[in-house]
């Protein structure tokens, strides 16, 4: 949150939150207050705004656009989980992907406001004329963050593992900075600290300063309590939180009023970490160092990135680096990085290999359950022959495809 | 070693009385499951009104016309003589443990012991049911028990509601990947 993407010489952008949820309003309000004071101010009415923000996923979005009809010179920035799905409904609109990249947003808003202000006698329904360069692209080319779910998304980005290209099979030169995320800048960092504190002093803790409750309790089994709904928790976990936003406080008890959900801490940490990571690794990780999953995550409850099941099946029985696991399974590394990040925070990662890795039993990795063969760590997992899938493959397909 | 053909397209569901074996097979099966339920007698009656005395039987129909049988073993130990017969040639074991029982970890040990040879030649996944009613012990206690008993790598242990098809399907998917992480999933 330290860098602000504003174009040089931009005046203060008057932003009106025309159609956004209360939680987004609070997060944006906080950002304005703490970080964008010199680039954005919140307008109290549509008339006084130079640009408006619209959440396309909220009901009543058509009515919001109706309100804009008499204001052709007001800029419009939309956002949605699946921007492409809305692109046809609202052609010529700037539609950003969720979660909003809060660093890039001021720049995008300023640009949309400026473009629309130049519109003279535009037809009422076509407020944002197609600019030379799409404002999203423009802002991204300034900001150039990795495209972790930001902007017009591709199918790949939707799976929440980003679009990071693979690293070389062996370390060559320094690792790209955008491979990593700093957990302390996300909810996951606060959550991890809360759980550690709760465990060490045996008392529940709250993360204060958020729009809704997130609490942790150490007993009888470590659990997280929240009244954020899942569709709110995900964007919150993805957004960068300034360290000052959230404070840890010790509580004597966590009251249940019935609207909260209680999850095992391990499951909650897994999800919040996956959403912060989006295919990246926590800072300080060596992607070439062998590690192992000490157990399967609880996949009936936790977020499953693509290939997460087979990654887990292999990684519980093999000491291997994230890069190696991806190579053995023939899948993009970002999916393995996603599992790594979640497992690290959920406490499911074993990072001290035994003295002799060969001493670990290496169960069969084979093309058919009927012909188990012992395989070395480095040996790629052989895939089924497509023309003759085994019974295991066929059962799997049935379970994946059937309703 | 058994051949794939002899390994009879059969998945075994076992576990404690009332853990949800009949319910799980019902959730997954493409046919209305056949079950030999009877009015419960003795101690079981305190736990539930009906219990499976012989076995549950369900089917997964594969697109190519092939069938995968889903066999549920009777939960009551006095029928345990059937377990070996039922599991003979099976692909793997889905073990359901009722977390609301008095000592679910000792239940786990008992069942792992009974299916020791079968698991050694195949694989097992563990579904912990009724966790909505009893949150203790947690999954880590199950994993620790499995590790203590020498199950390395530790099999998948999931929190499961036997009434949820997704949960039951997840146990079977994990079982398949445990047998072969290289399976193609698309
Ligand atoms: N609350 C709750 N109920 C469950 C859960 N899983 C299964 N049940 C219920 O538990 C009851 C017992 O399930 P059954 O399927 O009859 O159990 P079973 O393993 O076949 O029992 P036996 O045949 O007697 O060995 C049913 O009413 C299920 O709906 C769960 O996770 N939570
Ligand atoms: Mg039954």
Picking from A309, A371, A384, the nearest residue to B177 by CB comes out as A309
Closest CA to B159 of A266, A348, A228: A266
The one-character DSSP state at B64 is T
Residue B138 — pLDDT band, cuts 50, 70, 90? very high
Closest CA to A230 of A206, A209, A261, A259: A261
Chain B nearest CA to A87, separation (Å): 29
Whether A1 maps to a domain, the answer reads: no
B152 interaction partners in chain A (CB closer than 8 Å): 360-361
Whether A298 maps to a domain, the answer reads: yes
A 199-228: CB under 8 A from B: 220-223
Residue A187 DSSP SS3: helix
Residue A134: other Cβ atoms inside 10 A: 16
Whether B159 maps to a domain, the answer reads: yes
Whether B83 maps to a domain, the answer reads: yes
The one-character DSSP state at A164 is P
A364: CB partners within 8 A, 6+ apart: A372, A373, A374, A375, B180
CATH number at residue B134: 3.40.50.300
CB distance A388 to B64 below 8 Å:
no
The domain of B76 spans 4-179
Question: Counting Cβ atoms within 10 Å, is residue A108 exposed (0-12), middle (13-18) or buried (19+)?
Answer: buried
Whether A400 maps to a domain, the answer reads: no
Number of domains, chain B: 1
Predicted confidence (pLDDT) per residue in A299-337, tens digit: 999 988 889 999 999 999 999 999 999 999 999 999 999
Whether A5 maps to a domain, the answer reads: no
Lowest mean per-residue pLDDT among A93-97, A284-288, B105-109: A93-97
Whether B184 maps to a domain, the answer reads: no
Whether A366 maps to a domain, the answer reads: no
The domain of A96 spans 13-118
Closest CA to A23 of A228, A160, A270: A228
Predicted confidence (pLDDT) per residue in B57-69, tens digit: 888 888 888 889 8
Distance CA(A301)–CA(A274), nearest Å, equals 13
CATH number at residue A67: 3.40.50.2300
The top-scoring range by mean pLDDT among A83-97, A134-148, A236-250, B157-171 is B157-171
CB distance A306 to A330 below 8 Å:
no
Closest Cα to atom 14 of ligand 1:
B20
CB distance B99 to ligand 1 below 6 Å: no
Distance of CA A178 to the CA centre of its chain: 14
Whether B17 maps to a domain, the answer reads: yes
Please give the share of chain A, as a percent, with pLDDT higher than 90: 37
CB distance B53 to ligand 1 below 6 Å: no
Asked whether residue A187 falls in the same domain as residue A313, the answer is yes
- DSSP E strands, A109-217: 180-181, 205-208, 214-217
Residue A101 — pLDDT band, cuts 50, 70, 90? confident
Closest Cα to atom 32 of ligand 1:
B130
Q: What pLDDT score was predicted for residue B17?
A: 86
CB contact under 8 A, B174 and A363: no
Residue whose structure tokens are 């997840």:
B170
Pocket of ligand 1, candidates B17, B20, B24, B128: which has the most ligand atoms within 8 Å of its Cβ, to mutate? B20
Number of domains, chain A: 2
Q: Is the backbone of residue B49 left (phi > 0), alpha (psi -120 to 50) or beta?
A: alpha
Token pair listed for A67: 């309100």
Predicted confidence (pLDDT) per residue in A344-376, tens digit: 999 999 998 776 554 444 444 443 433 333 333
Q: What pLDDT score was predicted for residue A159?
A: 56
Q: What pLDDT score was predicted for residue A381?
A: 59
A135 vs A390: which has the higher pLDDT: A390
Whether A156 maps to a domain, the answer reads: no
Lowest mean per-residue pLDDT among A12-16, A107-111, A289-293: A107-111
Q: What pLDDT score was predicted for residue A182?
A: 95
Minimum Cα–Cα distance from B175: chain A residue: A313
Q: What pLDDT score was predicted for residue B5?
A: 43
Whether B88 maps to a domain, the answer reads: yes
CB distance A40 to A16 below 8 Å:
no
Residue A31 DSSP SS3: helix
A 356-395: CB under 8 A from B: 360-361, 363-371, 381-384, 386, 389-395
Asked whether residue A231 falls in the same domain as residue A307, the answer is yes
Q: What pLDDT score was predicted for residue A148?
A: 30
Strand-pair category, A261-264 with A214-217: unpaired
Asked whether residue A193 falls in the same domain as residue A338, the answer is yes
Whether A284 maps to a domain, the answer reads: yes
A264 interaction partners in chain B (CB closer than 8 Å): 138-139, 159
Last residue of a domain, one of A118, A135, A153: A118
Quote the pTM value. Answer: 0.71
Token pair listed for B87: 């599991």
A83 vs A47: which has the higher pLDDT: A47
Whether B186 maps to a domain, the answer reads: no
What ligand is nearest to the CA atom of residue B76?
1
Counting other chains too, the contacts that A44-48 makes at CB distance below 8 Å and 24 or more residues apart are A44/A16, A45/A16, A46/A16, A46/A18, A46/A71, A46/A74, A47/A71, A48/A14, A48/A16
User: A281-295 b/e with 16+ CB inside 10 Å = b?
Assistant: bbeebebeebbbbbb
Asked whether residue A280 falls in the same domain as residue A197, the answer is yes
Run of H or E residues at A275: helix A265-277
∠ at Cα A19 (A16, A25), nearest 5°? 70
Closest CA to A110 of A88, A71, A77, A86: A77
Q: What is the mean pLDDT of chain A?
A: 78
Last residue of a domain, one of A99, A118, A137: A118
Pocket of ligand 1, candidates B28, B139, B163: which has the most ligand atoms within 8 Å of its Cβ, to mutate? B163
């Amino acid at each position: 949150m330290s860098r602000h993407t504003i174009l040089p010489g931009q005046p203060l952008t008057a932003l009106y939150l025309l159609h956004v949820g209360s939680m987004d309003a609070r997060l944006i309000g906080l950002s304005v207050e703490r970080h964008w004071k010199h680039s954005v101010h919140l307008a109290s009415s549509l008339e006084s705004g130079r640009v408006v923000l619209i959440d396309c996923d909220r009901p009543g979005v058509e009515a919001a656009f109706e309100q804009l009809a008499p204001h052709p010179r007001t800029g419009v920035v939309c956002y949605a989980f699946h921007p492409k799905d809305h692109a046809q409904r609202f052609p010529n609109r700037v539609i950003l992907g969720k979660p909003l990249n809060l660093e890039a947003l001021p720049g995008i808003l300023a640009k949309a406001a400026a473009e629309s202000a130049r519109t003279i006698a535009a037809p009422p329904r076509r407020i944002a004329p197609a600019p030379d360069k799409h404002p999203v692209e423009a802002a991204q080319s300034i900001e150039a963050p990795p495209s972790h779910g930001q902007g017009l998304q591709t199918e790949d980005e939707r799976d929440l593992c980003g679009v990071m290209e693979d690293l070389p099979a062996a370390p060559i030169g320094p690792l790209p900075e955008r491979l990593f995320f700093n957990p302390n800048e996300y909810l996951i960092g606060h959550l991890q600290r809360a759980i550690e504190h709760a465990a060490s002093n045996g008392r529940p803790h709250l993360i204060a300063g958020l729009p809704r409750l997130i609490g942790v309790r150490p007993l009888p089994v470590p659990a997280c309590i929240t009244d954020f709904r899942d569709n709110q928790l995900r964007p919150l976990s993805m957004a960068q939180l300034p360290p000052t936003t959230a404070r840890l406080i010790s509580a004597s008890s966590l009251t249940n009023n019935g609207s909260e959900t209680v999850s095992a801490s391990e499951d909650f940490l897994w999800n919040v970490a996956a959403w912060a990571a989006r295919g990246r690794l926590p800072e300080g990780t060596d992607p070439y160092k062998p590690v192992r999953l000490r157990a399967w995550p609880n996949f009936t409850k936790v977020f499953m990135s693509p290939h997460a099941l087979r990654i887990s099946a292999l990684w519980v029985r093999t000491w291997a680096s994230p890069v190696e696991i991806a190579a053995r399974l023939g899948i993009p590394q970002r999916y393995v990085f996603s599992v790594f990040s979640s497992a690290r925070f959920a406490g499911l990662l074993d990072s001290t290999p035994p003295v002799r890795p060969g001493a670990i039993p290496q169960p069969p990795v084979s093309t058919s359950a009927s012909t188990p063969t012992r395989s070395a760590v480095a040996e790629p997992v052989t895939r089924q022959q497509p023309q003759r899938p085994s019974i295991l493959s066929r059962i799997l397909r049935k379970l994946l495809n059937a309703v | 070693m058994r051949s794939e053909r002899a390994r009879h397209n059969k998945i075994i569901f076992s576990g404690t009385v009332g853990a949800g074996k009949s319910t799980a097979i019902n959730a997954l099966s493409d046919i209305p499951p056949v079950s030999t339920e009877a009015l419960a007698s003795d101690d079981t009656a305190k736990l539930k009104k009906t219990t499976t005395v012989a076995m549950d039987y369900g089917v997964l129909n594969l697109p190519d016309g092939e069938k995968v049988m889903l066999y549920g073993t009777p939960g009551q130990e006095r029928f345990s003589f059937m377990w070996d017969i039922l599991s003979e040639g099976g692909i793997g074991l889905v073990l359901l443990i009722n977390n609301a029982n008095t000592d679910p970890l000792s239940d786990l040990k008992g069942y792992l012991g009974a299916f020791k040879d079968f698991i050694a030649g195949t694989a097992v996944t563990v579904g912990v049911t009724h966790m909505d009613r009893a949150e203790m012990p947690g999954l880590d206690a199950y994993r620790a028990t499995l590790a203590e008993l020498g199950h390395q790598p530790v099999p998948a242990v999931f929190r499961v509601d036997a009434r949820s098809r997704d949960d039951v399907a997840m146990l079977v998917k994990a079982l398949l990947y445990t047998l072969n992480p290289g399976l193609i999933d698309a």
